[in-house]
Amino acid sequence: MDHPIPIAPSSSPLQRTTSKSGSYPPVPSVCVVTGGTGFVGCRLVEMLVERGASKVISFDVVPPPKDAWHHPNIEWRVGDITDKQAVDELLSTPNIGCVWHNAAAVGPFHPKPLYYKVNYEGTQNIIESAKKYGINKIVFSSSPSTRFTGVDVDGLTEEEMPSLPLDNYMQTYAETKAMGEMEISKVCTNEFMTVAVAPHQVYGPRDNLFLPNLLEAAMNGKLRVFGKGYNRICFTHVDNYCHGLIIAEKALYPDSPALGKFYIVTDGKTHPEGEQYLIFWKILDEAIVGMGFPSLWGKAHLPKGLLLFIASICDVLQKIFGIILKLNTFNVIVLTMHRWFDIKAAETDLKFEPIIGFREGWDETIVWFRENWLPKQSKSKGLGGIAKTTQSKIDIQDESSKKVR
Ligand SMILES: NC(=O)c1ccc[n+]([C@@H]2O[C@H](COP(=O)([O-])OP(=O)(O)OC[C@H]3O[C@@H](n4cnc5c(N)ncnc54)[C@H](O)[C@@H]3O)[C@@H](O)[C@H]2O)c1
């Protein structure tokens, strides 16, 4: 017998089974997702419809991909959150139950001014318009990198991490996401309720940033294990993150402990051996070998000190020539440090638990990349630039922001 709920056609077998078999709380009838054509946003739009939303408006500067779900309950609206008028039009839609503010200039590869404009000013526009049109719930997608100082994060809770604002941020992305998050938490009251939810290292089918960039470097023989290779980190399946974002809306009620707070959600205790982390380079190597590329472990590891020295030269070259290189100081630090969290606050306050376990999620992601990503690749002769799909999205986002006054 067919299941009564609609299921996104481009979701993976595991995503379908999880959507069909789970029993999830109801979602607002009318939902807005900014950044709805991105990796996370696209899945969030789909999951909101799968969980019963009658109207989900995706608002993104990048048009929906070819395989986007053309379901009558989804409106794929192309627009820019830095354009106040467009945001006003968006949020004047009647009966919006919640805005999932997910749009951002993501990753380390954008021009600097774009981060401020999108991640900070864009967030201010969302807050202003939401207030103006009487919307009373915003769930903000934040990032743990807002709290990174370059020191190991080895199993900390949100409260044990540095509080915002930091004196120094490791990158403009982190700084501007922190600025956006602080605006979001500052305006939170019992009448205008907000919460910030952050994943760590999102993976899954249709990822266009994290895995494709590392796999492309591995394919071109340009990747080696950084340092000893035993740094511990945590991952978040895209469905687990979207689940966390969706149920965070349920935690927005007057006097809720979640009001104005910041939570991290990950694959939690489904990480290997019941811990909340994995060994980054070993797990990445599984994906590399899964593509049929040679294992990184068999090759010489690159000493961290040497990498930092070369990366500092790359930083200077980037500044002088305005080029984008994968090897930079930030990347060396994050790829060698411990980065994992204890997510008990999200478990307690949001009632979060992963809906897809790490092992099955990672195995399926590897299969997905082998079937969908690998056949489209050709060995590049470039000098460490970024993956083509990543670059084409960055170009659209940058172009749009130049048009908005
Ligand atoms: N992927 C991760 O590992 C990760 C980790 C921590 C936090 N996050 C957060 O999750 C959210 C989603 O990230 P993602 O991985 O899906 O990245 P993504 O780049 O795929 O999605 C972001 C989307 O925002 C859109 N966008 C950018 N500028 C815009 C603008 N001016 N107006 C409207 N839309 C705009 C982009 O076009 C893109 O589709 C972001 O807020 C990000 O900070 C992601």
Q: What is the pLDDT of residues 197-220, one digit of tens each?
A: 999 999 999 999 899 999 999 999
Write phi, then psi, for 173 (nearest 5 degrees). -55, -50
pLDDT for 106-144, tens place per residue? Answer: 977 788 899 999 999 999 999 999 999 999 999 999 999
Q: What is the pLDDT of residue 323?
A: 79
Q: What is the pLDDT of residue 378?
A: 75
pLDDT score of 1 more than 50: no
Task: Give the atom of ligand 1 at the shortest distance from the alpha carbon of 141.
Answer: 41
**Higher pLDDT, residue 274 or 354:** 354
pLDDT for 18-49, tens place per residue? Answer: 999 989 999 999 999 999 999 999 999 999 99
pLDDT score of 300 more than 60: yes
Nearest to 259 by CA among 162, 191, 199, 200: 191
Q: What is the pLDDT of residue 288?
A: 98
In the chain, pLDDT over 70 holds for what percent of residues?
A: 93
pLDDT for 362-371, tens place per residue? Answer: 999 999 999 9
Nearest to 35 by CA among 44, 26, 24: 44
Judging by beta carbons within 10 Å of its beta carbon (0-12, 13-18, 19+), is residue 381 exposed, middle or buried? exposed
26-35, 94-103, 236-245, 313-322: least confidently modelled range: 313-322
Query: Is the CB of residue 178 less than 8 Å from the CB of residue 165?
Result: yes
Q: What does the mean pLDDT of the chain come to?
A: 93
Q: What's the sign of the alpha-carbon dihedral 301, 304, 306, 307?
A: positive
Distance CA 395, CA 403 (A): 13
pLDDT grade for 382, boundaries at 50, 70 and 90? very low
Task: Give the atom of ligand 1 at the shortest distance from the alpha carbon of 82.
Answer: 31
**DSSP calls for 295-326:** PSTTSPPBPHHHHHHHHHHHHHHHHHH----S
The arithmetic mean of pLDDT across residues 275-297, rounded, is 96
Task: Give the atom of ligand 1 at the shortest distance from the alpha carbon of 200.
Answer: 5
Q: What is the pLDDT of residue 210?
A: 92
What element of type H or E holds 287? helix 280-290
Q: What is the pLDDT of residue 383?
A: 40
Range 109-112, long-range pairs (CB < 8 A, 24+ positions): 109/324, 109/386, 109/390, 109/391, 109/394, 110/173, 110/394, 110/397, 110/398, 111/398, 112/172
* Ligand 1 interacting residues, C-beta cut-off 6 A: 34-35, 37-41, 60-62, 80-82, 102-106, 118, 122, 141, 143, 177, 198-199, 201-202, 208, 210, 393, 397, 401
Query: Is the CB of residue 338 less than 8 Å from the CB of residue 232?
Result: yes
The arithmetic mean of pLDDT across residues 53-69, rounded, is 96
**Higher pLDDT, residue 320 or 136:** 136
In the chain, pLDDT over 90 holds for what percent of residues?
A: 83
Angle at 207 between CA 83 and CA 97, to 5 degrees: 45
Taking each helix axis from N to C end, the angle separating 388-403 and 210-219, rounded to the nearest 10 degrees, works out to 130
Distance CA 104, CA 120 (A): 9
Q: What is the pLDDT of residue 110?
A: 87
pLDDT grade for 394, boundaries at 50, 70 and 90? low
CA of 102 to the centre of ligand 1 (A): 6
The answer regarding whether domain 28-283+333-392 maps to CATH 3.40.50.720 reads yes
Other beta carbons within 10 Å of 228 = 11
Domain ranges for the chain: 28-283+333-392
CA of 212 to the centre of ligand 1 (A): 16
Identify residue 264 by its one-letter amino acid code. Answer: I
204-218, 259-273, 313-327: least confidently modelled range: 313-327
Q: What is the pLDDT of residue 381?
A: 45
CA of 35 to the centre of ligand 1 (A): 6
Query: Is the CB of residue 158 less than 8 Å from the CB of residue 263?
Result: yes
Kindly compute the dihedral angle of the four CA atoms of residues 284, 290, 294, 297, in this order, to the nearest 10 degrees.
Answer: 30
Q: Which two tokens stand for residue 402?
A: 């130049």
State which of 45, 46, 89, 106 you would mutate to test the pocket of ligand 1, scoring each by most atoms of that ligand within 8 A of its C-beta. 106
Distance CA 275, CA 181 (A): 29
pLDDT score of 227 more than 90: yes
Beta bridge partners of 305: none
